Chain A
Amino acid sequence: MKLEILRRIVRILSFIIIIYGGMIAYYFGIRNFPVIPISLPISYAAGEKTFFDKNYGIHFFEDILMTQLPIYLILTTSIVFLISLILFGSSWCGWICPLGVLQDGISFVRRFFKINGFKLSKKIEKFFDYYRYFNLFSILLLSFLIGDYFINITNISSFRDLHGKVSVSKTSCPGTALCFVRGELETTIKRLTPPSQPIRLFFYFLGLFSLTLYLGSFFIDRLYCRICPTGAINFLFNRGSFLSIEKNTQKCTKCKVCLEVCPMGQEKIYKEKISKNVDSYRCLKCFKCVEKCPEDNALQIKLGKYTIFSSKFKKVEE
């Protein structure tokens, strides 16, 4: 089976389930979802109109820092989160993440009309590698400063104003675009109007910045993923996850197709010449490289010991 088709099916299905699933469930009268232990913490169901409105990735970690969540919730979700990462690495990013799917949809429009795109230079790519973690830690730090625990300990007035009113990860999340898709025009407009408070203006621009990056994926594939804080966490588990890419360095002819195809501009697969293991930090595990590789069996997708898919020379489509 073609990997491309499989990926499309998985993406569209997961997009529908994640974005409209809550609405569909609400429509059928299901109000309270139990915590579903699949790869991600899906909770807070139907009432919020989505499967998970609050709790994935960075939003979940922010919640831990900001509000006093019940311990069983923290434990179950983080364990599920951890297990999924150890098993599949960051394949969430490449296959399921609705933000990613929508970005790919945007760039698909470009590809369909064959409009010129860009590739980021190595220097910018490297800058984003650092910026991504700066982004993650600044979000976590800010949310901790605004959150319950810090307010309880100290009494700094400027943070007191923001306490409980702003969610850093959400304002800097380009999910505004998703709200639009979900039909919540009110939320979209609310997020796009500049606030009057000067401190909040900072957060507003933070959100605007990530939204422009997000829409920039029209020209540069997966541009927002370069700074995504959730991705930053996922990438840490990439090396050594069960689902991995293996390269036969001898079979490889260094034709650079893998790098050309890679939405994240990851050079490791192209450059690696000694080791079999080519999993790298900045990788979405979308396996586009394996799919497009024109050398038979040069790249393989492995789940533990077993080979799931291997590269093959393909004839051009008419």
Chain B
Amino acid sequence: MRNTREIIGEEKVKSKFGLEFLKPSHRKKEIERKFLDEWEKIFKETNSAFKVLKNRLKNRIVELKKERRRGKKIIGYFCNFTPEELIYASNSIPVRLCSGSFQATFIFDENLISDTCPLIKSSFGLILSNSLFYNFCDVIILPLVCDGKRKLSEILSEFSDVWILKIPRTKSEIDKYLSDLYVIKEKLENLTGNKINRKSLENSIKTFHKRTEVFREFLNLKKESPGLIGSLETNLIGFTSFFDDVEIWTNNLKKICENMKRNKKEEKENKIRILLTGSPIIFPNTKILKIIENYANVVVDNFCFTEHLYHSVEVDDWSMKGMMRALANKYIAPSICPCLLSEEDRIDRTLQLIEDFKVDGVIYYQLRNCQLFDLEYLKMRQVFLRKKIPIFKIVSDYSTQDTEQLRIRIETFIEMIKRGKK
């Protein structure tokens, strides 16, 4: 009996160690079309000031191709535990591979029907199908964060070079991470042939510091007039930082901030203010943002990638060791990722944001099958209820099936806040 898949005409991809995966070439077009459609659509809904970013995705893909032909290395990474500064200092390009594409998850499902984290499924799919900017990486740096990423590193190592970055389980073990950074640094130097010396690292730290400065300015703008910048915009900005060049990104955001300052008057009407936190909502998985925006203003979205932009490497001692220490500190110490024993750091941070942005209610988003975010919620809920801040958890994945159900639940939650306010 012939395999049904063979009838359809699907080829198989052989990995380094002889494992066979279905070749997802038929998916590639669909993924890219959907992705670009969403990309176009989002600019119709967002503020006109954000038009600057519109061409960035397509242009960047062309740019990356060019740079690669010129011999620059492109280094993919996951999570906000990978030091971009180091990659940038070695004169190669960091590209973050975390993905939110629903279509890409099918590629994983075709090979193995499983209940894993959709982020991992999707990223795997995009990398296997070589779509968009996900296909240029010479090396993938994968921090061993949660269990999903741990195993993903194994799977991905079948197709490309994967460097593992060990992440400590507690924040006090920061020295282990630091020693691992030195390993990554050496590997980067060997790959690119460029020495990461004091000057290049100092330069790159300063460049990334400027990114933080502009992002904080952007957040301040949001704080002053919260209706002006919605969560779609913030999410877009976060997402563009995944693939865009730092300097271009910083300049673009600067332009956006200036534009926004000029248009300050056109504020939306007074809506309920929502803080959105939890698992990262990565473009094009923006369905929840769109639902909430219908009923309320999302004034803060506190995800790992926005936090990553918010923090900067603060160096006191500009020697090589001092800078590396500061790097390690930045990536581990203020992290709110639940994979670390963060000791209520996330709760403190969220409480502070609630105070700063005068938030009415909190929506906690959890990607389906993410244990860590699920368990983190337990403590958070108790603390928030004690402080009489309404908090509400939604569990969802990248599929659009549950949109209506989510809409009803979110609407009722916001209705409840409104009544509570009166």
Residues of A at the B interface (CB closer than 8 Å) are 110-111, 114-119, 249-257, 260-261, 273, 288, 292, 294, 313, 315-316, 318
Residue of A nearest to B333 (CB): A256
Give the interface segment out of B120-128, B130-138, B249-257, B322-330.
Answer: B322-330
Interface centre among B314, B319, B352 (most CB of A within 10 A): B314
In the complex, what residues of B have CB within 8 A of residue A118's CB?
321
Residue B45 lies at the interface, judged by CB distance under 8 Å to chain A: no
When the two chains form the complex, which single residue of A114, A260, A313 contacts B316, counting CB atoms closer than 8 Å? A260
When the two chains form the complex, which single residue of A114, A254, A273 contacts B319, counting CB atoms closer than 8 Å? A114
Whether the pair B329, A255 counts as a contact (CB closer than 8 A) is yes
In the complex, what residues of A have CB within 8 A of residue B348's CB?
249-250, 252-254, 273
**Given known A119-B325, A316-B209, A316-B210, contact A253–B334 (CB-CB < 8 A):** yes
Chain B, interface residues (CB within 8 Å), range? 20 to 34
Residue of A nearest to B356 (CB): A251
Contact with A along B81-112 (1 / 0, CB 8 A): 00000000000000000000000000000000
Whether the pair B321, A116 counts as a contact (CB closer than 8 A) is yes
Residue B158 lies at the interface, judged by CB distance under 8 Å to chain A: no
Whether the pair A250, B316 counts as a contact (CB closer than 8 A) is no
In the complex, what residues of B have CB within 8 A of residue A257's CB?
314, 316, 329
Whether the pair A114, B318 counts as a contact (CB closer than 8 A) is yes
Whether the pair A255, B330 counts as a contact (CB closer than 8 A) is yes
In the complex, what residues of B have CB within 8 A of residue A111's CB?
317-319
Residue B351 lies at the interface, judged by CB distance under 8 Å to chain A: yes
Q: Provide the bound-state CA to CA distance between A292 and B315, in Å.
A: 9
Whether the pair B316, A273 counts as a contact (CB closer than 8 A) is no
Residues of B at the A interface (CB closer than 8 Å) are 171, 174, 198, 206, 209-210, 213, 216, 311-312, 314, 316-322, 325-326, 329-330, 333-334, 343-345, 348-349, 351-352, 355
Whether the pair B321, A254 counts as a contact (CB closer than 8 A) is no
Residue of B nearest to A253 (CB): B334
**Given known A114-B318, A256-B329, A292-B316, contact A250–B355 (CB-CB < 8 A):** yes
**Given known A249-B348, A254-B345, A315-B213, contact A116–B314 (CB-CB < 8 A):** no
Q: Provide the bound-state CA to CA distance between A303 and B299, in Å.
A: 36
When the two chains form the complex, which single residue of B314, B325, B344 contacts A294, counting CB atoms closer than 8 Å? B314
Give chain A's interface secondary structure class: loop
CB distance from B379 to the nearest CB of A (A): 14
Residue of A nearest to B322 (CB): A117
Whether the pair A253, B345 counts as a contact (CB closer than 8 A) is yes
**Given known A116-B321, A250-B355, contact A260–B314 (CB-CB < 8 A):** yes
Whether the pair A255, B314 counts as a contact (CB closer than 8 A) is yes
The 15 listed contacts between A and B (C-beta, < 8 Å) are A110-B319, A111-B318, A115-B319, A118-B321, A254-B171, A254-B345, A256-B174, A256-B329, A257-B316, A260-B329, A261-B316, A273-B343, A294-B312, A316-B206, A318-B206
Q: Provide the bound-state CA to CA distance between A116 and B320, in Å.
A: 6
In the complex, what residues of B have CB within 8 A of residue A110's CB?
319
Residue of A nearest to B347 (CB): A250
In the complex, what residues of A have CB within 8 A of residue B209's CB?
315-316
Residue of A nearest to B314 (CB): A257
CB distance from B331 to the nearest CB of A (A): 10
Q: Provide the bound-state CA to CA distance between A261 and B344, in Å.
A: 24
CB distance from A202 to the nearest CB of B (A): 37
Q: What would 8 more interface pairs be, CB under 8 Å, given A255-B330, A316-B210?
A: A110-B319, A252-B348, A253-B311, A253-B348, A255-B329, A292-B316, A294-B314, A315-B209
Q: Provide the bound-state CA to CA distance between A273 and B334, in Å.
A: 14
Residue of A nearest to B352 (CB): A250
In the complex, what residues of B have CB within 8 A of residue A253's CB?
311, 334, 345, 348-349
CB distance from B407 to the nearest CB of A (A): 33
Q: Provide the bound-state CA to CA distance between A261 and B312, in Å.
A: 15
In the complex, what residues of B have CB within 8 A of residue A256's CB?
174, 329, 333-334
In the complex, what residues of A have CB within 8 A of residue B312's CB?
294
CB distance from B95 to the nearest CB of A (A): 24
CB distance from B406 to the nearest CB of A (A): 31
CB distance from A3 to the nearest CB of B (A): 13
Q: Provide the bound-state CA to CA distance between A273 and B343, in Å.
A: 10
In the complex, what residues of A have CB within 8 A of residue B311's CB?
253, 255, 294
In the complex, what residues of B have CB within 8 A of residue A251's CB?
352
In the complex, what residues of A have CB within 8 A of residue B345's CB?
253-254
Q: Provide the bound-state CA to CA distance between A3 and B267, in Å.
A: 39
Residue of A nearest to B332 (CB): A256
Whether the pair B316, A117 counts as a contact (CB closer than 8 A) is no
Q: Provide the bound-state CA to CA distance between A260 and B322, in Å.
A: 9
Whether the pair A250, B206 counts as a contact (CB closer than 8 A) is no
Residue of A nearest to B323 (CB): A114
In the complex, what residues of B have CB within 8 A of residue A117's CB?
317, 319, 321-322
Residue of A nearest to B213 (CB): A315
In the complex, what residues of A have CB within 8 A of residue B349's CB?
253
Interface centre among A252, A261, A273, A294 (most CB of B within 10 A): A294
Q: Provide the bound-state CA to CA distance between A114 and B317, in Å.
A: 7
CB distance from A116 to the nearest CB of B (A): 4
CB distance from A262 to the nearest CB of B (A): 9
Q: Provide the bound-state CA to CA distance between A257 and B343, in Å.
A: 18
Interface centre among A250, A251, A292 (most CB of B within 10 A): A250
Whether the pair B216, A116 counts as a contact (CB closer than 8 A) is no
Q: Provide the bound-state CA to CA distance between A115 and B344, in Å.
A: 37
Interface centre among B317, B322, B329 (most CB of A within 10 A): B317
Residue of A nearest to B311 (CB): A255
Q: Provide the bound-state CA to CA distance between A58 and B171, in Å.
A: 39
Whether the pair B314, A273 counts as a contact (CB closer than 8 A) is no
